[in-house]
Structure 1
Amino acid sequence: MVKILHGDTVESYALILGFFDKLVESNPGTCIALEMDDSGHFKFCFMAFGASIEGWKYCRPIISVDGTFLKCKFGGIPLTASSQDSNNQIFPLAFAIVDSENDASWTWHVSIVFSDVEYCVCTEHLLSNLKLHFKDPLLDKYFFSCTYAYTVEELEYHMRCMESVCSNIRDYLSSVGFEKWSRTYSRRRRYRMMTSNCAESVHSVFKDLRELPVATMLCSIKDVLQKWFYERSKAAFTMKSHLTCWAENILHKDSNLSVPVSDRH
């Protein structure tokens, strides 16, 4: 049934280049890449819409990358890179399909657009790994207190609390690199983006596409993104403030919570 509705899985790989040519022609500024192995078989493909590249200027300078699995005949790993825009909405940046989820695939995916980046880890995934070795019920509380600490003193306080219930956990976290999971030691600002949740959310939107032939899946992703960009652009033109709706709502709530203060002499 999938073949009848969406085309042949094998032939779909040969359609990627033609799809990319049309994509670049109709979407100025779009970045694409396609790589084959020595035998001429599919290895990697990548696409970042011109609108995504342009919109990146207005996003938090943090990129969340996540992968899942294709359910078609030949498998593969779709990778998603996302960020958050000034309206605190998830902003899709780029998509790739690779042959396997390994360091070479991740590096190739990111280096297509960004050549000089700092790599961090998702704190929720790190916590899941910690729970394989440390079983105390207070681990979650102390670990996230460490990750979100602003100062070394604050982090060290929560670290000592964590060590009191999970001995040797400092050594484990040191082997990961404090700069990769803690806001205090991060070489770049994290903007409260400590997890890969936004990329995972994008994957959840496209989860039903994983059974489709590759070219059909890429085309379907294009259709969804174009709809998102159109709807958000239309909403932006109706705004009457220099701030986004999200920022305006924060100011409005803070204003309502503020208490008038009067001087008494």
Structure 2
Amino acid sequence: MEGTVALLKTSPVRVSDNVDDSTVYFHHLFWTFSPCVEAFRHCKPLISIDGTHLYGKYGGTLLLVIAQDGNSNILPIAFSLVEGENAESWSFFLTNLRQHVTPQQGILVISDRHNGIKAALENSNSGWLPPHAYLAFCIRHVAANFALSFKGTDVKRLLVNAAYVKTEAEFHYWFDIMRTENPAMCDWANKIEYDKWTQHQDGGRRFGHMTTNISECVNSVMKGTQNLPGTALVKSTYGWLAELFVIRGQTTEAQLASGVKFCQSFMKAMKRNLKDSRCFTVTLFDRHQSEYTVAETTPTGSFSLGTYQVSLQDRTCDFGYFQALHHPCCHAIACCAQSRLDWSIYVDEVYTMQKVFRMYQMGFVPPMPGGTLATL
């Protein structure tokens, strides 16, 4: 298919101290398809990366990168077949990923704390350093490492709660509980930069994603292909993605035709926000209808500040959800109602059905019969 990228890296055959130039071994393979590259332009600006072990005659590891559309659908966008998870293989994968699939600025990479991934991303020539791209850790992996040092049924929960909350006040609430339990817990957590594991300091880059679960979901889907040889594995990803693009393209086209403006998963979240927005007293502080305070008449959760500052112009709220999830929280919706503004203009474009439809507009073509790919 035109636009497909398939890069094969070989290694020389060594006999004692000599190199046999007439023969090479398969070493690494990277591949992606043009519809996946095009689709990522319309996804959330983040990726999840992970590896899964292959079985059968050849073994090895499949590295993959997963994106997500505004309707919470996951989409694999690139793959690599390597001998294992190490610095060299991750560098090969991530360098080609950056060059051929994800050249956009400001992308967030969510991964576990594998040293090979960290080394590859922090290479000065990788293109993955801030402000071009940012690294965040999967909190489930961080919590698992945390539990190796601190025993107890609830210690992981304390760290996870501190990571998930969206305001600094809530973070310090849980951090203080950790300090009361054992000051060494806080010392351990402070060794990791806050922007890599907490949501309140992620700059809104996570869109609420705290784990690598979206890539591990694909691992479970691909279990039936993990014992295939290389060529069959590549072909299976092509066929699986071709079917996926057809199904999602047809679904989103039908929803657009029926007049649906926003994604279904997004509207589920907004229904709760619209309901809670009735529980506030709103005060406008400028004639441009951008700065407000919102006072609760009924608490909206277990942790309440009572009064929140909202800036529609900056799309921020003390509640933290507005900037973290990139759509209006209940307080921002209350401000819009007070000033008779349409709350939908403050929703990130990624949550619109039009944006999701663009992801799947480009389809795959039927494979050529009698292909000539050599068996890898």
Q: With structure 2 as the length reference, what TM-score do the two structures score?
A: 0.58
Q: What stretches of structure 1 of length at least 5 have no aligned partner?
A: 1-25
Q: Could you tell me which residue of structure 1 aligns to residue 27 of structure 2?
A: 43
What are the residue-to-residue correspondences of 1:52-71 with 2, within 5 Å? 52-71=36-55
Given that 1:64 and 1:198 are in contact with CA atoms closer than 8 Å, whether structure 2 keeps it comes out as yes
Asked if 1:81 corresponds to 2:100, the answer is no
Radius of gyration: which is bigger? 2
Aligned to 2:7: 33
Which secondary structure does the structure 2 equivalent of 1:170 belong to? helix
The structure 2 residue matched to 1:140, chosen from 156, 167, 175, is 156
Q: Aligned AA for 1:242?
A: K
Determine if contact 2:10/2:25 at 8 Å carries over to the other structure: yes
1:257 positional shift: 7.0
Give 1:242's match in structure 2, choosing from 248, 258, 261.
Answer: 261
Partners of 1:153 and 1:142 in 2: CA distance: 15
Q: Is residue 182 of structure 2 the alignment partner of residue 198 of structure 1? A: no
- SS at the partner of 1:44? strand
Corresponding residue for 2:244?
A: 228
CA separation in 2, counterparts of 1:98 and 1:208?
19
Whole-Å Cα distance in 1 between the matches of residues 237 and 182 of structure 2? 44
Q: Distance in 2 between matches of 1:138 and 1:255?
A: 34
Q: CA deviation at 1:178?
A: 2.4
Q: CA deviation at 1:35?
A: 0.9
The answer to whether the 8 A contact 2:146-2:156 is kept is: no
Residues 1-265 of structure 1: matches in 2 within 5 Å? 26=1, 28-39=2-13, 40-114=24-98, 115-116=127-128, 117-186=133-202, 189-239=205-255, 240-252=259-271
Percent of pairs identical after alignment? 26
User: 2:36 & 2:74 partners in 1: Cα distance?
Assistant: 12
CA distance, structure 1, for counterparts of residue 180 and residue 88 of structure 2: 39
Amino acid at match of 2:189: L
C-alpha displacement of 1:29: 3.0
1:132 counterpart SS class? helix
Deviations 1:120-153 (A, max 9, x none): 2111011111111111222233212211232333
Provide Cα deviations, 1:46-81, integer angstroms capped at 9, x if missing partner: 112211111112211111111111112232110111
Would the aligned equivalents of 2:51 and 2:85 in 1 still touch at CA under 8 Å? yes
* TM-score of the two chains, using structure 1 as the length reference: 0.80
CA RMSD of the aligned region, Å?
2.3
Number of residue pairs the alignment of both structures matches: 236
Give the equivalent residue in structure 2 for 1:18.
none
Secondary structure of the residue that 1:159 maps to in structure 2? helix
Measure how far apart 1:90 and its partner are: 0.9
**Larger RCO (alpha carbons 8 Å, 6+ apart):** 1
